[in-house]
Amino acid sequence: MTIAVKNINKRFGDFVALNNVSLDFPAGELTALLGPSGCGKTTLLRCIAGLEHPDSGQVLLDGADASDRHVRERQVGFVFQHYALFKHMTVFENVAFGLRVKPRAERPSEDQIRRKVKDLLELVQLDWLADRYPPQLSGGQRQRIALARALAVEPRVLLLDEPFGALDAKVRKELRRWLRRLHDDLHVSSIFVTHDQEEALEVADQVVLMNKGTVEQIGTPDQVYNHPASPFVYGFLGNVNVFHGRVHEGVLASEGAQLDVPDHTHVRDAKGTAYVRPHEMDVDRYSAGAEGIVVKLRRAHAIGPLAQLDLERADNAQLIEATISNERFQNLGLKEGETLVVRPKRLRVFVDEGASI
Ligand code: ATP
């Protein structure tokens, strides 16, 4: 099922939670709604579900206006961060619940329910827990059961609100990979809310970056990570080095450093800011006359395939992060306290009005 929202506005008193949001969620894809706390992710999810009513705008399901449809008529399944499974019911009965409360005419037979619940428990790989009660499960197992329960009624849309938010980092990582595989098998149109950028980039087909009730960018993980549309997106998706300066005919002068910005040859003179990710930095030993930014190596953290370097600019003491391969780090034989020179291999400049050229 395709999902779309058109010009959705939602206020809580004077507070604007959603400001004219329009989005398309393609059928069968897994979309992440990503953004800082309070940016409106959950409110948008609840509007799609029919749990919240927008002040204006439309929710379209398969192209048809569903704004007035009751939550039960929208064929959505939910999983929340703290999905309260019924504590007094076994895992089996929890998953069967949605089937048992169907109107009599649509209710499957007891045999069909048994088969269906068994299949779902196999799908989430927890069939061996069918007779347990929720308090006897781990947090990760509970969320998988919550997902099985949501899937029991064959929703055409699956909405997940920080489904793994309450779990520890390791279980979280396992479960997000597992969710991706499950999604690849089922292809239910799914939207999940997260404020964890790594989770969104790893799991989603499409990422929607939200900020203060608006959409900053929408794209594949590669598009939003490698081609951020705004300084906000740059800053939100991973570490980034920021260089302030003035742009003049293809060069950004940032204190003692001159950085080439070939896309900006037509800019005569404007304040600008360059964004460079740590892995986009070239690092070398310092030699007289070398081009780039002169830095001192403060600290090196070289474990596994990568070496993370904390550097301090010689001209203004700004801290810079660079990530190079551990192999290169060892070959260069770098020592803490040494003077180095760094050059951005790739950078993006936003002139300070916020417009990127
Ligand atoms: P988080 O990651 O913290 O859950 P979020 O991006 O999901 O944040 P929302 O839950 O959508 O954010 O909330 C957006 C804003 O709207 C917040 O400032 C929140 O306080 C406010 N808000 C949400 N629901 C209500 C409500 N029922 N009454 C008043 N304000 C609300």
| Tens digits of residue pLDDT in 200-231 | 999 999 999 999 999 999 999 999 998 999 99
Distance CA 167, CA 24 (A): 30
286 Cα to the center of ligand 1, angstroms: 50
Q: Indicate whether 356 pLDDT > 70.
A: no
Distance CA 92, CA 79 (A): 17
Please give the number of the atom of ligand 1 that sits closest to the Cα of 43. 11
* Pocket residue to mutate for ligand 1, from 12, 16, 18, 195, most atoms within 8 A of Cβ: 12
Ligand 1: does its nearest atom lie under 6 Å from the Cβ of 37?
yes
Q: How confident is the model at residue 13 (pLDDT cuts 50, 70, 90)?
A: very high
**Which range (124-133, 219-228, 261-270) has the least confidence?**
261-270
Ligand 1: does its nearest atom lie under 6 Å from the Cβ of 18?
no
- Among 3.40.605.10, 3.40.1190.20, 3.40.50.720, 3.40.50.300, name the CATH number for the domain at 3-236: 3.40.50.300
Distance CA 79, CA 145 (A): 10
Distance CA 66, CA 52 (A): 13
Give the model's pLDDT for residue 354. Answer: 46
Ligand 1: does its nearest atom lie under 6 Å from the Cβ of 254?
no
**Structural domain spans, the chain:** 3-236, 239-351
Ligand 1: does its nearest atom lie under 6 Å from the Cβ of 12?
yes
Q: With a cut of 0.90, is the ipTM above it?
A: yes
Ligand 1: does its nearest atom lie under 6 Å from the Cβ of 194?
no
Q: How confident is the model at residue 69 (pLDDT cuts 50, 70, 90)?
A: confident
Mean pLDDT of the chain: 90
Give the model's pLDDT for residue 357. Answer: 45
Q: How confident is the model at residue 353 (pLDDT cuts 50, 70, 90)?
A: low
Predicted TM-score of the model (pTM): 0.86
Mean pLDDT of 10-14: 95
Non-local (6+) Cβ contacts of 136 within 8 A are none
Ligand 1: does its nearest atom lie under 6 Å from the Cβ of 287?
no
Separation in Å, CA 241 to CA 270, 315, 357: 20, 16, 19
Mean pLDDT of 238-250: 90
- Residue range 239-351 forms a domain whose CATH class is mainly beta
Distance CA 199, CA 191 (A): 13
Ligand 1: does its nearest atom lie under 6 Å from the Cβ of 140?
no
Q: What is the pLDDT of residues 15-60, one digit of tens each?
A: 999 999 999 999 999 999 999 999 999 999 999 999 999 999 999 9
Torsion of CA 229, 234, 238, 243, to 10 degrees: 150
- Fold match, 3-236 / 239-351: no
Q: What is the pLDDT of residues 77-90, one digit of tens each?
A: 888 877 678 999 99
